[in-house]
Structure 1
Amino acid sequence: MREDIVGVDVGKRLMRKRKPVNVKSFSIVHNAIMFFSSLYMVIETLRQAANNIGWGHSHGGGMWGNVAEAPGKPFSRSGQRLANVLYIHYLSKAYEFTDTLIMILKKNERQITFLHIYHHATTFFPCWWAVMNFAPGGDTYFTCVVNSSVHVAMYGYYLLSAAGVKIPRAVKKSITSMQLVQFAMFFCHALYGALYATHYRPRIIVVLCLWQAVVFASLFGQFFW
């Protein structure tokens, strides 16, 4: 997170005596990439999770409580495919720093809040870094699908706005509401893992997810209010 803060500060200093950059075309391309990649991740993660967890089979898994394949051991074919799409989701968290770059170039410094920096920085590391190194499977699909679904709506909104389409203000508020619902779902999932699914390993990831869900819900709730 410290590196992200330093990068933002350097960017602000470089733009201080310069005029805002016209990034309309760049924003459209960026938001289109995020919209379609998020849509892909929703569909592909569900498809691979269904295969790996065994939904629809007599002894298939459920929404939660599915054991991740043991780290350090060879993946099954379906486990490898699920891990691959989750890794794409992990990499997308690094690419999302482009949001901040666009804000810096446009000199929209009021948008670069603590919430924005904390959200982008800690989601990439340590959250998804830890997940991909220790538990790239099992119930991890749930977080990816829910988050990517919200991003389909969010970046779809950004894409249309960047293209000059006028969108009702209520749509923007509904997206923030979706984010709050998302964190409530993450909290319930992490709480279930902390209290009932004692097979989750390592336990520190469950605690980390629980903590992040509470912090994000608090910060986004304050923003919404």
Structure 2
Amino acid sequence: MSHDSSHANGSTAVTDIVGVDLGKRLMRNRKPVNVKAFAMAHNLVMFLASLYMVIETLRQASENFGWGRLGGGGMWGNVAEAPGKPLSPSGHRLARVLWIHYLSKAYEFTDTLIMILKKNERQITFLHVYHHATTFFPCWWSVMNFALGGDTYFTCVVNSGVHVFMYGYYLAAAAGVKVPRAVKKSITTVQLAQFALFFAHALYGAIYATHYRPCIIIVLCLFQALVFASLFGHFFW
């Protein structure tokens, strides 16, 4: 089997799992749907939700880790509250916003739905489907079930910050605003920088922060950061 055919089979398997191929079949003999208003509303929701998650996560992390207080935590190396025990008030509020971020990963499949309805199949690449599918499960599912709190805040803040930029661009473009081409091109660059940060953080956890548990979460983060960097790097090139 050639590399191209094996890659295609892998792509088909992923798209079957998340229902993309079913959507394509349903739209095959139909005209593209005008989803401009729906897409604008979706982009606005994601922009505002992402902005909220950046601000609220930083606010609750600051309180939970004691940033600015003597002996408080730093950017990395913050320990999650003991699993199985009741969370502190600030720990509960931090967990709540992290759960919102986790649920937003499911809502992001709306991006794919819009592409299917528009019959813009060129955009539904293996990169797009793999990115959305594996970020929701197993990545964030594992984190929220086994490593809630602690340095999980960092991934939420960085990813939400990237989405503020990305969905802000989509919203402006959909509204007819003439955005410089350089801004569109920089989206992938910003995403690559995001994965570099995630890899550095996971590497820090593997080498220095030996209190991170379970260790499989660190391995998963390292693996996904490398895969995403490779896929997005190939797309950028």
Normalised by the length of structure 2, the TM-score is 0.93
Equivalent residue runs for 1:1-225 within 5 Å: 5-6=16-17, 7-225=19-237
Higher RCO, Cα 8 Å, sep 6+: 1
Give deviations 1:50-87, integer Å, cap 9, x for gaps. Answer: 00011000010011111111221110111000000000
After the TM superposition, list the runs of 4 or more consecutive aligned residues in structure 1 that deviate by more than 2 angstroms: 1-6
Structure 2: runs of 5 or more not aligned = 1-10
Give the drift of 1:134. Answer: 1.0
Q: Check conservation: 1:70, 1:135, Cα contact below 8 A.
A: no
Give deviations 1:78-125, integer Å, cap 9, x for gaps. Answer: 100000000000000000000000000000101000000000000000
Separation of aligned partners in 2, 1:167 and 1:48: 34
* Aligned-partner residue type, residue 154 of structure 1: M
* Aligned-partner residue type, residue 75 of structure 1: L
Matching residue of 2:5: none
Matching residue of 2:3: none
* Aligned-partner residue type, residue 180 of structure 1: L
Separation of aligned partners in 2, 1:200 and 1:189: 12
Give the drift of 1:4. Answer: 5.1
Separation of aligned partners in 1, 2:16 and 2:153: 29
Separation of aligned partners in 2, 1:213 and 1:169: 27
* Aligned-partner residue type, residue 26 of structure 1: F
Q: Check conservation: 1:22, 1:106, Cα contact below 8 A.
A: yes
Normalised by the length of structure 1, the TM-score is 0.98
* Aligned-partner residue type, residue 214 of structure 1: L
Range that drifts further, 134-143 or 1-10: 1-10
CA RMSD of aligned residues (A): 1.2
Give deviations 1:126-161, integer Å, cap 9, x for gaps. Answer: 100011111111000000000000000000011111
Q: Check conservation: 1:45, 1:141, Cα contact below 8 A.
A: yes
* Aligned-partner residue type, residue 94 of structure 2: L
Range that drifts further, 14-23 or 162-171: 162-171
Separation of aligned partners in 2, 1:90 and 1:202: 19
Q: How many residues align?
A: 225
Structure 1: runs of 5 or more not aligned = none
Range that drifts further, 164-173 or 194-203: 164-173
